[in-house]
Structures are given as C-alpha cells and as structure tokens.
Amino acid sequence: MDDKLHGDDTLSEVISENASQQQEETLEEMLSRHRKETNDLQNKETALKKAAAKGSKAEQKAKKKQVDEEVHRLSTKLKERQAEELASLGYNKSTDKQKGNLDNLVKAIAGVSVTTQPEQSKPSKSVKRREKRAQQEAAREQRIQEEQSQIVSDRMVEDEKLEKKLDPLGFIINEIKPDGHCLYRAVEDQLALHCGGASPYTFQELRQMVAAYMRKNVSEFLPFFLSENMVDGETQDSLAERFENYCREVESTAAWGGQLELGALTHCLKKPIMIFSGSFPDVEMGKEYKSGKGTGSSDSSIMLSYHRHAFGLGEHYNSVVPDSAQ
C-alpha cells in the first residue's frame, strides 16, 4: 500500500496538472479549473478507498489511514494553492474588498458577468433562484479554502464513529462517486445487492420515479418544501411553479437528494430505508414496509450512510453492505 500511495504519480498530478493554465486566466476560468481539480481529487480518493477495502480488517484499517493521510496532505496543498491563485486576482478575505470580491465570485459561478453594468430593473424570480444557488456554491468554495483542515478533521472523526457503529453489525461502507447523484447511485447499489446482480432501476430512473411521486403527492411534500424554501408574499401560482421547478431539478439535474427524496424513494420502492450517520442519530424511514406490515414486496432494508463532512462540499451518501459482500 505504501508503494501504491507514494509511488503513484497519478494522484499528485491532480494538484499540478493544470498549473500551465494559470497565466492570463480570468476569474471564471480559474473557478472552473478549481472545481475540476477538486472533483478530480475526490474521484481519486474514492478509487483509493475502494482499493484499500481489501484484505483483513486490520489491513483495511491500516490502508484506510494511509489513504486519509495522503489525501489530507494533497487536499491541503491544493486548497492553499487555489486560495493563493484567487488572492492574485483580488479575492482575499483579509482585505476591505472582501464583500465586493465575494459578490463577483457568486456572479462568476452563476455565469453572470462581473464587469460593471448600468443598473437594471428588478431581477426576475428565475434570476433570483440562480443567484441563490450561486451564493450557495460560493459559500462552499469559501469553506473549502478557509476551513479545509477542520473539515478533514471532522471527516476523520465522522468516519471513525461510523466504523465503530457498523463494525459490530458486520457492515462496511461501499464508496459511491460524489457527483451529485450519490443518493440515487447508493440506492441503485443496494437494489443490485438485493437482486444479486444488476439493479432493476438506474440512478436516473430512480430520479424520475421520485419526481413523479412528488408531483402526484404534492400535499405530502409541500410543507417540508416550504420549511426550506419560504418566500414572503408568494402566491399559490408562484408556489406551484417553484415546486414544479424543484421536481424538474430532481428529475433531470445532478441536484443532491435529501429528506424529501428519501421519503419519496421509500414509497416508490416500498422498502424501508436505514440511514447510518457518524454526525447525527441514525434514521429509519418506511417502517410500514417491514415484514408483516404494509404491502411491500420485500422486507430487505436499503441501508445507506450519511456523511456531513465527506468532501467538504455538502451532504454525501454511500451504500452500506455486509462485510462478506466485498
């Protein structure tokens, strides 16, 4: 494992592969490259963790520690360089221009020009939604740059808690690609495990099923949707439009899934879903579909792990499988 980690130049190239692009780079181009570099490192980490999940439990634990340490080192180095590059273009939290620079960062991520333009009329609702999503992405960029060491520390603590919880049950985590589809890919992995082969549904088909169920059962999901997306003075028509836009995002984008989507999944599949976490209490949904209750065709629970600090980019889900399945 030591030879694989330290002798493999591929992982180190994640940090340096785009160094030649730094000259004459705009802020938008730099942010795009930063996101690609971060995603490349995350994909490499996932691959290394899968490779480390072999051998005895003692060997797996040792390999996992090596992977965490190596990725921590590379991730810290990457974030430091990215922060320096952003500072070279004027984005520096220590200056009095932080707010203006952060506004520019938000606009750049949203695809809006950062050049000065004449004041225009009140922005439309679609522009407001786009700017809100851009603000969320900008906040993630800022957290990555300013809190990476703490995030990595929290991740290690979270992983240790999960391991202590799953090990006595004979379960381990099967790493899922962090591409925004992780919830649906994890469920797809679970369905394949239950079937002993290929899953009856792809992650994209699961997205479509969830969106269709939410549209059909609006009253069941609307209160929870409003609790997270409240807008003052909104009409019923505009609310219905926003909920439909949300369903379209679930159906056809890489929008992350959460509690609403988990609730829909358990009803679509008629299976209970168990979510293990190292940061929050475990949650079980769809208990009515357990053996002897409801009309479910199977009482095999879908088992997922929820990670608050997996990559520093937001929520992440993995598939929880029996140790013997690896």
**Tokens matching residue 63:** 């390999």
| Residue 267: active-site member | no
Tokens coding 185? 């890919």
Nearest to 58 by CA among 104, 1, 6: 1
Chain centre to alpha carbon of residue 173: 16
Q: In what order do the strands lie in the sheet with 302-307?
A: 171-174, 316-322, 302-307, 273-277, 283-285
Catalytic residue among 34, 182, 268, 309: 182
Active-site residue, from 34, 181, 309, 316: 316
Q: Which two tokens stand for residue 96?
A: 């009095």
Catalytic residue among 179, 194, 299, 323: 179
Indicate if 154 belongs to the active site. Answer: no
| Spatial separation of the C-alpha atoms in residues 315 and 256, rounded to whole Å | 8
302: closest CA among 277, 262, 272? 272
76 and 148 in contact (C-beta within 8 Å)?
yes
Instruction: Confirm whether 316 is a catalytic residue.
Output: yes
Task: Say how many CA atoms lie within 13 Å of 242 toward its Cβ.
Answer: 21
- For residues 145 and 86, the answer to whether their CB atoms sit within 8 Å is yes
Angle at 207 between CA 138 and CA 132, to 5 degrees: 20
Catalytic residues: 179, 182, 316
